[in-house]
Structure 1
Amino acid sequence: MAIGDILELRVERLAAGGSGVARADGKAVFTDFAAPQDLIRARVVEERENFARAEIVKIMEGSSLRVQPLCPYFGTCGGCAWQHLEYGAQTEAKTAMLADAFQRIGGFAITPPIRTISSPPYGYRNRIQFHRVAKRRADISPVGFKRRGEDTVLPIDDCPIAASRIRTALAARELVPPVQVDRFNVYAHGDLLLAEGATERGIVEIRGKKLRIDVRGFFQSNATALEYLLDELMSAARSADPELRAADLYCGVGTFAAFLSDIFPRIDLVERDKTALALACENVRGHGIRHFAISDDEWARMGSKGEQEGYGFAVVDPPRAGLSTGLRNRLARMKVGTLGYVSCDPATLARDAKELAAAGYELRSLTCYDFYPQTPHIEAFAVFGSPRP
C-alpha cells in the first residue's frame, strides 16, 4: 500500500474520531464521510506502519444508513462530520465507542448497561463560536466557520444545527465580530441572544431555575440535553445523605450546584476561572455555600472540613484532559457517598474510572448523552458509589 493507491473497501464501523474504518493489507484504513456497510473506492492519502487514511473517490454501494445532509455547507465546513448518517446510527456508534473505551482503557470486563439519551438532531446548539470573514463584502456573511482541513473561513448564512434564534441572526446578518477579534461566542435560548461585543450577559432558564451566564465563558451548548443530564444528576444526588456537605468541582457558573442546593444546604464550589465563580456566587447563595477560586490540584492539596466529615455527594465536570492526578488521589481517600462524573471525553473518563475503581469506588451507572448530534463528540455521565471500607 502506498500514497495514491486506489483501494476498494467495505466499511465496517465508525472510529472514535468519526471516520469510517475498513481493512486492507492487514491494517486499518480510516476514511471520512463513510458509513458502515458502504462499499467504496478510496485513494490513500496517508500511510503509516499500522494504519492508513484514504479519501472517497466513489461510493460503489451506499449503506442503508446514509441520508441526505441538510446543510449546504456539509463537507466543506469543518464542523459537522456525520450529517450523511441516519441519526440512530450516530447514537448507536457513540454508545459503542463509550463501551469500547471502558473495556479497552478502563479495563472493565463488564459495565452497567449503557443508557443513551438522544437530542433533537438539528436546531439543538445554543452556544456556537464563529470566526470573522477576513475580507468583508456586502454580498457575503461577515461570519463563518473554518473550512475543513484549512485555516481559512467559510462564510455562512445558515447553520441547521444551531438554535432558531442564532439561525435568524445569521440570515439577517445580525452577528458582527467584535473589533480586533477573529473569533467570538454566541449563545441563544428562546428569545435570548448573547454575543461577544454586544450583549454579553443574560439570564437563561434551565428546568425552572434562572442562571446568570456570560457568553465569553463556558456554558453547556445543548440546553435540552443539559436538562436531561440534570434530571439524572438529581436522581443520583437524592440517594446521598443530605446532612453531609456536597461538592461541585469545576463548577463554572454553578449550574449543578444551583440544583443540588435544593437537597444539600451546604455545598463547596471549586472553579479556577474567577469570572465564572463570581457568577456562581450569584447563582448559588446560602449560608452553607463555600466558594474556592482555585484549580483542581490546588483544591486537592488543601485540607477542608468537608473532607473530615465526608461528602454526601460530589459532582465533577472536568475539561477534556479529565481529572488531575492530584484530584484523583484526593477523591480516592475522601469519603464521598455518591460521585457523579460528567465527561466530554470517553478516553479520560475511562482512565479515571479505572483509578476510582482501584480505590474502591463502584461504577453504578453509565449514560451516553448526545449533546452534539451530527458530530462524533460524546458526553457521558458516570455515577460511582462510595469506596469500600
Structure 2
Amino acid sequence: MRMGEIFTAPVERIVSGGAGIVRYRGKSVFINLTAPGDLVTGRIIEENKDWAWAELLEISEPSPLRKTPFCPLYGSCGGCSLQHLSYEAQLAEKSRMLRDALVRLGSFSSFPEPAIHPSAPEGYRNRMQFHRIKPIPPSRRSRSVPSPAGSRRPFPLGFKARKSGELIPVADCPVADPGIRRVLAEGTLPIAPDRDRFTVYARGNTLVYEGGPSRGKVTLLDRELLMDAGVFFQSNGTALELLIPELLEAAGGADPSLPMADIYCGVGTFAVFLGEYFSRIDLVEENRQALSLARENMPGGNCRFFPLKADQWVKTRGTGAKSPGKGPYGFIIVDPPRQGLSGTLRQWLIHEGPPVLAYVSCDPATLARDSRELCRGGYGLEKLSFHDFYPQTAHIETLAVFKK
C-alpha cells in the first residue's frame, strides 16, 4: 500500500468517529461518508503500520442503508457525520459500537443487552456553539465551503468545516432547536462585538447565549433549573427527560437512609431529581460557576458542595474514613468527560464506593475500560441503556448501572 493508491472494496461497518471501515491489503482503512454495504473506490491519503485513511472517490454500489442527507451543507460542515444513513441504521450501528467496545476493550464475554432510546432525528439540539465570521471572499473560498443563500449579514454565524480550519456561514441548521433556527434565519442575535465564538441555548421560551443574556431557566419534566449558556448543560433536553427516570429507577435500589454523591455534578441536573430521596447529597464539581448554579438549584439543607476535581475530593475523604460526614454512601452517580474515570477514582469506588453506582458516559471506549476495572474490583454490570442524545453524529451516550 502506498500514498495515493486507489482501491475498490466493500464497507464493513461504521467505527468510532463515524467513518466507515474497509479491509485492503491486510489493513483497516477508514473512509468518511460511507455506509455499511457500500462498494466504494477510495484513494489512500494517510498510512500507518496497521491502518490507513482514504478519501472517497466513488460509490459503485450504494448500500440499502443509505438515505439522502437533509442538510445542503452536509459533507462540508463538520457538525454531522451520519446523515447519509437512515436513522434506524444509525441506531443499529451505534448500538453495535457500544457492544463492540465492551467486548474488545472491556474484555466482557457477556453483559446486559443495551436498551435503545431514540431521539427526534431533527430539531433536537438545544445547545450549539457558533463562530462569528466575516464572509469569505470568493477568491479565497474553498470549493468545499459553499456560501449559503440568505446569508447577507455583515457578520454571519458559522460552523467549522469538516476538512479544514475554515468557517462555513450557516443560514439554517435542521438539527437545531426551533429557537436556534429562528436566530439563524433572522440574524437578530445582538452578540457583543468582541465575541468570535459563543454558545447558544434554546428550549421552549428560553433563549440564552454568551455575549448577551446568558442565564435562564429550563423546565425538565416537572422541575425548573437555572442554567447559563457558558456552562455545560446537556444539549438534548428531550433525551435527558428519558434518562432521568432511569436514574431514579437505579437509585430506587439503594438504601435511602444513607447519603448519595453526584460526582461531576455540573449545575446539579441529576441531583435536583435524586437528592430528595436520600438523607444527604454531596455534589462534586471543579467548575465553580457550575457549582454556584447547583447551589441555586439545590436550596435544601441536606446538601454539601465540593468545588474540587474528583481526585482531589477522593483524597479529602481518605481511606476507610469513619468520622461524621465521611461514612459510606448508598448511591453515587458519575458523569465524567470523555476521558472517563481516573485510576484514583476507580480505585476509591472499588474499595469505598456504594452498593449502587450509576455511570453516565459519553464515550464507549472509556466506559468499557472503566467497566472492566470496576467489575474486576467487585461490581457487577446490571443494566445498560443507549440514549441517542446526538442523532446524525457518531456520539454515544450510555447509562450503566453497577451493583456490588
Q: Find runs of 4+ consecutive structure 1 residues off by over 4 angstroms.
A: 135-138, 304-308
Q: Aligned ranges for residues 102-113 of structure 1 at < 5 Å?
A: 102-113=102-113
Q: CA deviation at 1:308?
A: 4.8
User: Residue 316 of structure 2 aligns with which residue?
Assistant: 302
Q: How much has 1:41 moved relative to structure 2?
A: 1.3
Tell me how far apart the structure 1 counterparts of residues 36 and 70 of structure 2 sit (CA, whole Å). Answer: 20
Please, which runs of 5 or more residues in structure 2 have no aligned partner? 138-150
Which shows bigger deviation, 47-56 or 183-192?
A: 47-56
Structure 1 partner of 2:38: 38
**Structure 1 position 359, deviation (Å):** 1.4
**1:302 partner SS:** helix
Indicate the residue corresponding to 1:316 in structure 2.
Answer: 334
**Counterpart selection for 1:372 from 387, 390, 393:** 390
Spell out the pairing of 1:219-298 with structure 2 (5 A cutoff). Answer: 219-298=233-312
> How many residue pairs were aligned?
386
Cα deviation, 1:217-237, whole Å, max 9, x if unaligned, reads 000000011111101000100
Question: What is the root-mean-square deviation in Å for CA atoms of aligned residues?
Answer: 1.6
The alignment status of 1:159 with 2:177, answered yes or no, reads no
1:171 equivalent in alignment to 2:171 = no
Q: Check the 8 A contact 1:177/1:183 in 2, yes or no.
A: no
Q: Is this contact kept in 1: 2:195–2:211, CA < 8 A?
A: no
2:8 aligned residue: 8
Q: What secondary structure does 1:224 align onto?
A: helix
Q: CA deviation at 1:181?
A: 2.4
CA distance in 2, matches of 1:135, 1:15: 35
Deviations 1:224-263 (A, max 9, x none): 1111110100010011111110110000000000000231
Could you tell me whether the CA contact under 8 Å between 1:11 and 1:35 is conserved in 2? yes
**1:302-358 Cα shifts (integer Å, max 9, x gaps):** 126588532111100011111122211211111402100001111111111111112
Pairing of 1:350-389 with structure 2 (within 5 A): 350-386=368-404
In 2, are the aligned partners of 1:11 and 1:22 still within 8 Å (CA)? yes
The residue type paired with residue 344 of structure 1 is C
**Cα distance, 1:213 vs. partner?**
0.2
| Deviates further, 113-122 or 171-180 | 171-180
Instruction: After TM superposition, list the pairs within 5 Å mapping 1:109-258 onto structure 2.
Output: 109-135=109-135, 139-140=152-153, 142-258=156-272
CA distance in 1, matches of 2:315, 2:185: 50
- Contact 2:135/2:169 (<8 A) preserved: no
- Partner-residue secondary structure (3-state), 1:53: strand
1:188-224 alpha-carbon deviations (Å, 9 max, x no partner): 0012111111110000000110000010000000001
Kindly tell me: are residues 307 and 62 of structure 1, through their superposed partners in 2, closer, same or farther at Cα, counting changes over 3 Å?
A: farther
Corresponding position of 1:60: 60
Aligned partner of 2:99 in structure 1 is 99
- Partner SS, residue 217 of structure 1: coil
**SS at 2:355 equivalent:** strand
Structure 1 residue 136: deviation in Å?
8.3
Q: Which residue pairs with 1:20 in the alignment? A: 20
Counterpart CA distance in 2 for 1:80 and 1:308 is: 45
Going from structure 1 to structure 2, the CA distance change for 1:169 and 1:241 (only over 3 Å counts) comes to: same
Q: Distance in 2 between matches of 1:221 and 1:338?
A: 27
Measure the CA separation in 2 of the matches of 1:369 and 1:250. Answer: 19
* Percent identical: 48
| TM-aligned CA deviation for residue 18 of structure 1 | 0.8
CA distance in 1, matches of 2:58, 2:192: 43
Of residues 141-150 and 187-196 in structure 1, the stretch that sits farther from structure 2 once superposed is 141-150
Query: Is contact 2:284–2:313 with CA below 8 Å preserved after alignment?
Result: yes
Residue 89 of structure 2 is matched in structure 1 by: 89
Which segment is superposed worse, 34-43 or 1-10? Answer: 1-10
- The alpha-carbon deviation at position 271 of structure 1 amounts to 0.6
TM-superposition CA deviations, 1:145-189 (whole Å, max 9, x none): 011121111000000000011001100012354322221000000
Q: Distance in 1 between matches of 2:326 and 2:268?
A: 24
Q: TM-score, normalised by structure 1?
A: 0.96
